[in-house]
Amino acid sequence: MSFLAIYWILLKATVTTFSGLGSLPVIRQELVLQRHVVTDEQLNTAVVIGRTTPGPIGLYVVSVGYYAAGMKGAAAGWLALVTPALAIPLMLRLIGRRADHPRTKQVMEAIVVSSTGLLFAAAIPLARDSLTDAIAIGIAILTVALMISKKADSLAIIGGAALISILAAAAHLSGYAVR
């Protein structure tokens, strides 16, 4: 894929969402389902990388770009990530204090809620690919519980999940054997 093609796809994903992982449904639709240049596993791995490295969660787009086309894809991912931010000086001039208008807030809220629905729909096939045994299902449930209770950060959770998976495979408890 060309730099411009990846940039355009990833820009469509970042410019139509308002949260870190909100761009995931558009990316999955375009790169996994339509063009087959990224797999569900790579997309999930990109999410892991985005959550285990410092900086905003939306950085996983850089990783997705790399999986689609190597370093030029990563560069396109970075450019798609930063492009929407260039709109804020214009918004500071145009909208300013009108950002608090109830109608503006209602529209923004609708976009966030509906993009959450799309994110949930995108999580289903990711879960189908990753939650293939009882240990993996347990890890996913524990992750949600720990995040809600705020008792651990995402980096520690992902590290702990990797360790549990290794220990379970070593003890032959996991359906995911070492081969």
Partner 1 sequence: MNRPKVRDIAGVFGRYGNLTFGGGVATIGVLRHEIETKRGWIDSDQFQLCYGLCRLTPGTNLLAFCTAVGWLGRGWFGGLVALLAASVPCSAVVAVATMAFEIWTRNPWAKVALHGALAAAVGLVVFTCWSLIATNIRRSNWIRVTLLFGGAIALQEFAGMSPIQILLLCAGVAAILPLEKRR
Site string for partner 1, 38-57 (x = CB under 8 A): ---x--xxxxxxxxxxxxxx
Binding status of residue 21 toward partner 1 by CB under 8 A: yes
Task: Name which position in 4, 36, 172, 178 contacts partner 1 (CB under 8 A).
Answer: 178
State yes or no: residue 33 binds partner 1 (CB under 8 A): no
Q: Is 152 in the site for partner 1 (CB under 8 A)?
A: no
Q: Can you tell me whether residue 53 is helix, strand or coil?
A: coil
Whole-number Å distance between alpha carbons of 46 and 140: 17
Site membership for partner 1, residue 143 (CB under 8 A):
yes
- Residue 37 lies near partner 1 (rule: CB under 8 A): no
Residue 109 touching partner 1 (CB under 8 A):
yes
C-alpha span between 43 and 71 (Å, rounded): 16
Distances from the Cα of 60 to the Cαs of 47, 83, 97, 153, in angstroms?
Answer: 6, 15, 32, 17
**SS3 of residue 106 by DSSP:** helix
Amino acid at 169: A
Q: Which of 144, 151, 171, 173 binds partner 1 (CB under 8 A)?
A: 144
